[in-house]
Structure 1
Amino acid sequence: MKKLFLLLTLLAFFNCKEGTQTEEASKGVSTTYNISFENAVHHEANVQATFTNLKSGEVEFRMSRTSPGRYALHEFIKNVYAVKVTDSQGNELETTRPDPYSWKVNGHDGTIKVSYTLFANRGGGTYAQIDETHAHLNIPATFMYAPSLANDEMEVTFNVREDLNWKIATQLKHKDGNTYYAPNLQYFMDSPTEISNHGVRSFDVNGQTVNLVLHHNGTDAELDEYFEKVKKVVLEQEAVYGELPDFDYDNYYFLACYIPNASGDGMEHRNSTVVTSTRSLADGGMERNIGTVSHELFHAWNVERIRPQSLEPFDFEEANMSGELWFAEGFTSYYTNLILCRAGLMEPENYVRGLSGTFNYVWNSPGRQFFNVIEMSYQAPFVDAARSVDPVNRGNTFISYYSYGSALGLALDLSLREKNLNLDDYMKFVWNTLGKDEKPYTIPDLQKALNEYAGEGFGDTFFNNYVHKSDMPDMKRLFKTVGVSLTQDDTKARFGASVRQGKIYGYTSIGSSAYEAGLENGDTIIQLGDYVLSDDLDSNTIMTNFKAGDVAKVVYERLGNKRETSLTFKSDPSYSISINENASQEQVAAREAWLRKKSK
């Protein structure tokens, strides 16, 4: 009898549990949106949100404070007004405001309807822009949401301006008409939408469709030409990983806006990316805009699916801090131009010479004495389009994790190639072991993967010295292995500050000639050595007359007082990077293996 009772109890439990799961699954769509753009000329949209299947009691709805792909707070609520809240019958509900970002409601009937006006006029990857050229919508900047319904399905209807020939482009699943679907809040928030009179070009890659959606004022011929460049980028990136990601709904979208009212930006998403620029294809954009396309597509693997644990799930209520951005953003930055070179869209000589900007910024920055690359990544909430009014000393203390990570990607690639390995295959190894099955990673996971790929101890050496510490490898030797020269001019003098019309702008660089002489931001140089500044003789011209080791008297003005100091010119630490025309056949072969086309 005890066994029978136990069996019946277990059956009752599982039947109850199954019934609960069925009930949860049958909820269906709990959030619906309707957005229209009658007042687009004044950058306004009218939004109606309906939240259903709500439990009794207090319910919260809010605007996001962050956006996928960004790490700082952006406070999207500041552009929302004329908020009205009712129940399903249209009865107005009383709300409270516990903080600037949210509302709380009691006394509803299981449904809450919220209407509001949105002002939007920044056409990039983070915000939204509404005018008579388009409705360019970043979802967190556009729609309120109910956190309690975050796991439920959602639908949105875009009431397009047919008088403006608007069409809809988005990674959201098309349902019918102008209505689109998302399985949950995370997917919805990650789905930017471009509504405009745009052109579309598509091509098939192993059963999946890659779409270039271009809103521009150019010609179809320009779109066709640019699309060929995009295709080359896609195929070269596929060659790095051996395959495209498994895109949801078998589609990937480049949402490109190259129009005068846009703002230059790029923002990756799971199955799409926003790429915006004021440069038209006819006015330099054909060559200069493609780099953003390359960078953002690489994120479809590296950050969207090779995903840091620290960003999973993405938090819409707080800043998102990640110590892995040097890998997620930085290694992606390393591949940005390398892919263009391999695709034949950048000459090898220009690619190699172009490495010098990032190299000098990272290698010569005083910031490495304060923070390693992980700690630089932690600062993203303060620098990733974040705003502050108080002065900061970031020129001396911060190195962008984009640049720092890119420099480390270069260093790791050349170090691996010295062992007849390469970064492509390491990225592919990380993809196959972590990204493909979307297992969020930590820094120890990356280190373990490098040891497994390159041999025991290799990853420990690299991570311990260059990731957890701020050392740098012998790049002159590593460059030499691929027939590239790394040189310096020890006789050239460096002042150590930016000077315009005699005035120092920005804090002087720690350890530089100007810093050691006690010069500072805001000082105005009157005399340098025997040279007196005038309208005909500027400070930058004067400085070319000095070489490293020279000592000069500096007369300057600070806060209305004339002062004098002595300055010893130090050598310019800048490096030049170029292809070595006298490289051996072995070095040339190694360079070609590094830079040549990989796609079939």
Structure 2
Amino acid sequence: MHILFLFLLATSACFAQKNTYRISFENAEHHEANIQISFPSLEQDTLTVRMSRTSPGRYALHEFAKNVYGLKATNSKGEKLDITRPDPHSWAITGHDGQVNLEYILFGNRADGTYTQIDQTHAHLNIPATFMYSESLKQRPVEVIFDTRHFPHWKIATQLKQLGQNTFYAPNLYYFMDSPTEISNFDSREFEIDGQLIRFILHHPGTAQEFDEYWEKTREIVRQQKAIFGELPQFDFGKYTFLGCYMPQVSGDGMEHRNSTVLTSGTSLADGGMKGNIGTVAHEFFHAWNVERIRPQSLEPFDFTEANMSGLLWFAEGFTSYYTGLSLARAGIITPQAYAKGLNGTFNYVWNSPARQYFNPVEMSYQAPFVDAATSIDPVNRENTFISYYSYGSMLGLALDLQLRQKGQNLDAFMELVWEKYGEPEVPYDLQDLENALAAYAGKDFAENYFGKYIYSSEMPDYEQLLDQVGLRLKKGSENAFFGASVQKDDEGFYVSSNPKKNTPAYKAGLDEGDRILTVNGTTLEAENSWEDEFGQYKPGEQLKLEIERFGKKMHKTVILEADPAFAISIDEGAKPEAVAARKEWLSAK
């Protein structure tokens, strides 16, 4: 969330009164927290409080009010006050004497970058999912007391300013809402760089040696990403905190905040998290620059009452995704060979998607309120209409970096320019600002060509030529057969488990999601085999005569297989010396 901290301090100084929160965990075994809030010195006759409907870094709605119950309101003398419900998210309180004290119970049992989880191992708190607030009092400072007396071994980690052992401070509501908190018996590591403290707290079942190894990887990521921008952001209170929770009961996620990030995974370091979780560390720390301070105007101010939509997520999230893998390569965490191999899945997902005919990257970004951990019960056609702005943007970042390198420039220097113009002074930018910045860096014609072809339209860059200049090989075509829809197996047999992609063999044959595949070319599929086992024997051009069941009726469909359209990216062992040197410059530590 964009917050200009000096402004906040000046603003908060205007308000002597503060709102005070207390949370305790007497019934943690049943995932409940008890919360008390005091709103003093009220001037309005009716105080309206509410639960947020979304959370910083999220773009969809989540309706946190559903987990609140047992609400009571009293005045300064402890007398009960009337409460009415103007809408599903709000409570209106009348008859107070200038002060309203609230008490309620919160249920929370999902630990990730959005929700709250309370159990006997920790209190994982995302603030919008936890605490009520009053929009009319948003400029007041907030004091919060995390009451851990029922778990005396728990410690508290947050980007909030610490005032006492269990008491913390936010200059106003927005900073409070942007400050996730992990309370547990966690381990911690820290180091100082450029006069600022980088801290990693980790709630996990692993060993100190495992954490040490993971911490060294994190330190190198910090150094490599700092080299891109030339400096660290100025973190409020001089500290940045990785809030890690790698426990079996949590859900995998990562969520950026101004001076911290949430990192959650059900995979421990010993069971694959050492490799599997580190990409999220790289992604989220890059957000300390790109999206937290290099901030789209369309996300300002962040609205806690509605979905937040931006057409710039291809840059804010997508370019951050491009730098995720690149940071791991430069930090020596993955090899150049692994980096090249890692491009394949995203590359094929983006450039073989029929969705490009419907939406360009800006419009894909507009889809975020429907896909960013959003929920719906009606089927959708995302296989044919949506490409993740994370993936789309990462491939556009790759293309832009390689195009700039042809000119003797690079994306690192462009990102540093954007940082200096918009991030460091915290001036929100729009789409035209971004194009203007690229024009200032690489020339007007270059910027118009890039934005015209790839941002305002959905053309595919010449990756074969771009990758060749850095010693990577792009192979087109395959001898493998291509079906065009996912097929899975359950107790009843095989079935089509996704919408067939447009103009693929399965789509042309008229197959639909949910179709049961009974026989292929007159043969019943072997129950012990996978679809890959069954399908692998066929070649492009062959026909599959399928007997299927749909809506309780049997019918026949003929699928004419085609060659797999997937591309393959790999290190070109025969690359010219100048291409090998360019690859080394691109992927090596800075």
Q: Which TM-score applies when normalising by structure 1? A: 0.94
- 1:3-42 map, 5 Å: 25-42=13-30
Deviation at 1:554, TM superposition (A): 2.6
On the 8 A contact 2:478/2:566 being kept in 1, the answer is: no
> Do structure 1's residue 559 and structure 2's residue 547 form an aligned pair?
no
**Closer/same/farther in 2, CA of residues 538 and 305 from structure 1, 3 Å limit:** closer
On the 8 A contact 1:489/1:572 being kept in 2, the answer is: yes
> Do structure 1's residue 504 and structure 2's residue 496 form an aligned pair?
yes
Paired AA for residue 466 in structure 1: Y
Q: 1:234 corresponds to which residue?
A: 222
Q: 2:443 corresponds to which residue?
A: 455
Deviation at 1:286, TM superposition (A): 1.5
Q: Deviations over 1:115-161 (max 9, x none)?
A: 10111111111011111111111000111001111011111011114
Deviation at 1:538, TM superposition (A): 5.6
Q: 2:334 corresponds to which residue?
A: 346
> Do structure 1's residue 533 and structure 2's residue 521 form an aligned pair?
no
On the 8 A contact 1:56/1:109 being kept in 2, the answer is: no
Percent of residue pairs bearing the same amino acid type: 57
Q: 1:18 corresponds to which residue?
A: none
Paired AA for residue 407 in structure 2: K
> Do structure 1's residue 428 and structure 2's residue 416 form an aligned pair?
yes
CA distance in 2, matches of 1:39, 1:349: 50
> Do structure 1's residue 590 and structure 2's residue 582 form an aligned pair?
yes
Q: Deviations over 1:390-446 (max 9, x none)?
A: 111111111111111111111111111111111111111100011100001111111
User: Any gaps of 5 or more consecutive residues in structure 1?
Assistant: 1-21
Aligned equivalent of 1:411, options 399, 421, 446: 399
- 1:180-195 map, 5 Å: 180-195=168-183
Deviation at 1:56, TM superposition (A): 2.9
Deviation at 1:529, TM superposition (A): 3.3
Aligned equivalent of 1:379, options 367, 378, 382: 367
CA distance in 1, matches of 2:582, 2:297: 35
Paired AA for residue 212 in structure 1: F
> Do structure 1's residue 572 and structure 2's residue 564 form an aligned pair?
yes
Q: Secondary structure at the match of 2:575?
A: coil
On the 8 A contact 2:12/2:139 being kept in 1, the answer is: no
CA distance in 2, matches of 1:227, 1:545: 46
Deviation at 1:453, TM superposition (A): 0.6
On the 8 A contact 1:66/1:74 being kept in 2, the answer is: yes
> Do structure 1's residue 477 and structure 2's residue 477 form an aligned pair?
no
CA distance in 1, matches of 2:364, 2:180: 28
User: Any gaps of 5 or more consecutive residues in structure 2?
Assistant: 1-9
RMSD: 1.5
Q: 2:515 corresponds to which residue?
A: 523
**Closer/same/farther in 2, CA of residues 178 and 539 from structure 1, 3 Å limit:** closer
Q: Secondary structure at the match of 2:163?
A: strand
Deviation at 1:268, TM superposition (A): 0.4
Q: Secondary structure at the match of 1:507?
A: coil
Q: Deviations over 1:172-193 (max 9, x none)?
A: 0011231111011110000001
Runs of 4+ that moved beyond 4 A:
22-26, 536-539
- 1:55-204 map, 5 Å: 55-161=43-149, 163-204=151-192
> Do structure 1's residue 283 and structure 2's residue 283 form an aligned pair?
no
Deviation at 1:545, TM superposition (A): 2.8
Deviation at 1:163, TM superposition (A): 4.0
Q: 2:239 corresponds to which residue?
A: 251
Deviation at 1:288, TM superposition (A): 1.5
Q: 1:7 corresponds to which residue?
A: none
**Closer/same/farther in 2, CA of residues 495 and 26 from structure 1, 3 Å limit:** closer
Q: Which TM-score applies when normalising by structure 2? A: 0.95
CA distance in 1, matches of 2:158, 2:13: 26
Deviation at 1:105, TM superposition (A): 2.0
Comparing 243-252 with 156-165, which one deviates more in the overlay? 156-165
On the 8 A contact 2:12/2:172 being kept in 1, the answer is: no
CA distance in 2, matches of 1:568, 1:284: 40
CA distance in 2, matches of 1:500, 1:38: 45
Q: Secondary structure at the match of 1:145?
A: coil
On the 8 A contact 1:46/1:118 being kept in 2, the answer is: yes
Comparing 539-548 with 464-473, which one deviates more in the overlay? 539-548
Deviation at 1:537, TM superposition (A): 5.9
On the 8 A contact 1:528/1:542 being kept in 2, the answer is: no
Aligned equivalent of 1:52, options 40, 49, 52: 40
Q: 1:212 corresponds to which residue?
A: 200
Deviation at 1:220, TM superposition (A): 1.9
Paired AA for residue 54 in structure 1: L
> Do structure 1's residue 514 and structure 2's residue 506 form an aligned pair?
yes
CA distance in 2, matches of 1:263, 1:28: 40
Give the aligned length: 577
**Closer/same/farther in 2, CA of residues 536 and 95 from structure 1, 3 Å limit:** closer
Deviation at 1:52, TM superposition (A): 1.9
Paired AA for residue 104 in structure 1: A
On the 8 A contact 2:25/2:150 being kept in 1, the answer is: no
CA distance in 2, matches of 1:492, 1:175: 63
Q: Secondary structure at the match of 1:581?
A: coil
Q: Deviations over 1:52-93 (max 9, x none)?
A: 232132221111111001111111111111000111111111
Deviation at 1:201, TM superposition (A): 1.0
Q: Secondary structure at the match of 1:135?
A: strand
Q: 2:385 corresponds to which residue?
A: 397
On the 8 A contact 1:81/1:116 being kept in 2, the answer is: yes
On the 8 A contact 2:24/2:147 being kept in 1, the answer is: yes
CA distance in 2, matches of 1:341, 1:118: 43
On the 8 A contact 2:76/2:101 being kept in 1, the answer is: yes
CA distance in 2, matches of 1:370, 1:498: 22
Deviation at 1:24, TM superposition (A): 8.5
CA distance in 2, matches of 1:23, 1:245: 22
Deviation at 1:528, TM superposition (A): 2.8
Deviation at 1:550, TM superposition (A): 2.6
Paired AA for residue 94 in structure 2: N
Q: 1:268 corresponds to which residue?
A: 256
On the 8 A contact 1:29/1:155 being kept in 2, the answer is: no
CA distance in 2, matches of 1:162, 1:228: 34
Q: Secondary structure at the match of 2:114?
A: coil
CA distance in 2, matches of 1:162, 1:55: 37
Paired AA for residue 195 in structure 2: G
On the 8 A contact 2:12/2:171 being kept in 1, the answer is: no
Q: 1:443 corresponds to which residue?
A: 431
> Do structure 1's residue 309 and structure 2's residue 301 form an aligned pair?
no
**Closer/same/farther in 2, CA of residues 147 and 577 from structure 1, 3 Å limit:** same
On the 8 A contact 2:160/2:169 being kept in 1, the answer is: yes
Paired AA for residue 570 in structure 1: E
CA distance in 2, matches of 1:540, 1:213: 42
On the 8 A contact 1:155/1:181 being kept in 2, the answer is: yes
Paired AA for residue 68 in structure 1: P
On the 8 A contact 1:326/1:404 being kept in 2, the answer is: yes
